[in-house]
């Protein structure tokens, strides 16, 4: 095992953006639906609008304005709003429920499954996502993600970046925070994890927000590992 992963027993992964391409997947589903129904709609903008509602919705839970509400239900609240904004009025209840489950069908990045299979040989690999358990399980079955187990904000009733999510993952795995590595494409997620003693690996996902968008892709020596993708992460950890 490489020094950067010394003492690491388990890796927990952010999912939306890190493991799967939420924007491309949602836009593709919207585009297919639009073609079938004859709508004229910017599918990528629809995906962006849906995702834009995500953090504010979780903040309403974190501030106790809403009681604990799982992501499937938050996604649905946001969807109902943006359908109005995009002037889509012809979806039945069953259509909306199915569209909401598009988040259960997100596609992995091309290196995801191969990388996870390698990492699984050396580490316990688990999700640590704000997505709810059923969503993450359906996604795993659909995309062939070989998780050892599924951990979710839903289990801790706290969304990242609440400390309970990071520390709850270490506690339920019965390991020390320093034996747990958080893997994410988002620096803020990793900075919160590090604050609670977790090890950190940044994985770059330059296309998360679409071509021509430029998320912050600079490596940061504050993280234990800076990796190009999951295969590079496996390489750097000796898996």
Q: Footprint of a copy of itself on this chain (CB under 8 A)?
A: 72, 124, 132-134, 137, 140-141, 147-150, 154-155, 172-175
User: CA-CA-CA-CA torsion for 213, 30, 188, 211, nearest 10 degrees?
Assistant: -20
Report how many helices (DSSP H) and strands (DSSP E) the chain contains, helices first: 11, 6
Q: How far is the CB of 111 from a copy of itself (least distance, A)?
A: 22
**Distance between CA atoms of residues 187 and 165, nearest Å:** 16
Shortest Å distance, C-beta 109 to a copy of itself: 21
CB of 139 to a copy of itself, least distance (A): 11
CA dist 58 and 170 (Å) reads 22
Phi, psi (5° rounding) for residue 60?
A: -65, -30
Comparison of 175 and 231: residue with beta carbon closer to a copy of itself: 175
Q: Which is nearer to a copy of itself, 84 or 172 (CB)?
A: 172
The smaller minimum CB distance to a copy of itself, of residues 50 and 147, is found at 147
Report in angstroms how near the CB of residue 204 gets to a copy of itself at its nearest. Answer: 28
Spatial distance between the Cα atoms of 104 and 22, rounded to a whole number of angstroms: 10
Runs of H (alpha helix) within 39-145: 43-52, 54-62, 71-85, 93-100, 112-122, 133-143
Residue number, 101 or 114, with CB nearest to a copy of itself:
101
Length of the chain as a residue count: 239
**72 or 235: whose CB is closer to a copy of itself?**
72
CB of 201 to a copy of itself, least distance (A): 20
CB of 130 to a copy of itself, least distance (A): 15
Distance CA 44, CA 6 (A): 41
Q: Smaller CB distance to a copy of itself: residue 151 or 227?
A: 151
């Amino acid at each position: 095992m490489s020094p950067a992963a010394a003492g690491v027993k388990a890796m927990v992964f952010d999912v939306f953006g890190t493991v799967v391409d939420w924007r491309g997947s949602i836009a593709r589903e919207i585009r297919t639906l639009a073609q079938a129904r004859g709508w004229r709609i910017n599918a990528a903008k629809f995906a962006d609008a849906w995702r834009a509602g995500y953090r504010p919705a979780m903040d309403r839970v974190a501030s106790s304005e809403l009681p604990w509400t799982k992501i499937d239900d938050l996604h649905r609240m946001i969807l109902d709003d943006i359908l109005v904004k995009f002037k889509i009025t012809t979806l039945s209840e069953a259509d909306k429920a199915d569209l909401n489950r598009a988040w259960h069908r997100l596609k992995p990045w091309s290196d995801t499954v191969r990388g996870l299979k390698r990492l699984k040989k050396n580490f316990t690999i688990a999700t640590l996502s704000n997505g709810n358990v059923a969503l993450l399980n359906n996604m795993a079955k659909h995309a062939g993600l070989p998780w050892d187990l599924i951990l979710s904000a839903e289990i801790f009733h706290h969304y990242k970046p609440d400390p309970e999510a990071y520390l709850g993952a270490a506690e339920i795995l019965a390991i020390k925070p320093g034996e747990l590595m958080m893997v994410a494409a988002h620096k803020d997620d990793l900075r919160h994890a590090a604050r609670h003693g977790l090890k950190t690996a940044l994985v770059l996902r330059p296309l998360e927000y679409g071509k021509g968008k430029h998320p912050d892709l600079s490596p940061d020596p504050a993280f234990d590992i800076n990796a190009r993708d999951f295969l590079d992460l496996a390489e750097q950890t000796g898996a």
